Amino acid sequence: MKFGIIWNLSRTGTFEETLKSYIMGAQEAERLGFDSLFVSDHVTGRCDTWTLLSYLAAKTTSIRLGTGVTPIPRYVPTILARKIASVDQLSKGRVIAGFGAGWSPLEFRNFAPGGVYDFPRERIEKATEGLRLMIKLWTQPRNVTFRGKYYFGDASRTSAQAGAETSTASLVRGS
């Protein structure tokens, strides 16, 4: 059996104090033998979630790192795929990416492409389609052409490629 921790990124203290507590917490979780550490992906935190995970990857050696839920429709999937692949490469394959459709109207209206907060059905469709696109980017040996209902375009697989020695794990859950 494996055990992990999930953090809700808080805004207490200064940025430096908060960052120090994240590092100490991640290192202590690793020392205690926890398998994984998940952080929430909300724009209300002190730092971009995937940037923070990249930083924590540099400060730890074995604990797997991921998001409780990253709301795919709040991102451009090709850019999100590249962010996740970069963290996976920097962590030497320790990423577990949690995905969902999102739920916060405020976050979508202020940070999603076009500021759109769709009905649940459309957010779920976008999350599903976006995940299909990201998986293609991570796994296909050549450039990817994608034509979906919400996302389309041509992208270089190498721009979002997980490292040859790594494999990004994904977890899909509701949010």
Residues 6+ apart with CB under 8 A from 152: 146
DSSP string, 130-147: HHHHHHHHHH-SS-EEEE
Query: What's the token pair of residue 167?
Result: 């494999």
Establish whether 107 is a catalytic residue: yes
Helices (H), ranges, the chain: 15-31, 49-59, 77-90, 105-111, 120-139
Establish whether 129 is a catalytic residue: no
Given 42, 125, 129, 165, which residue is catalytic? Answer: 42
Given 17, 28, 107, 122, which residue is catalytic? Answer: 107
Residues that are catalytic: 42, 107
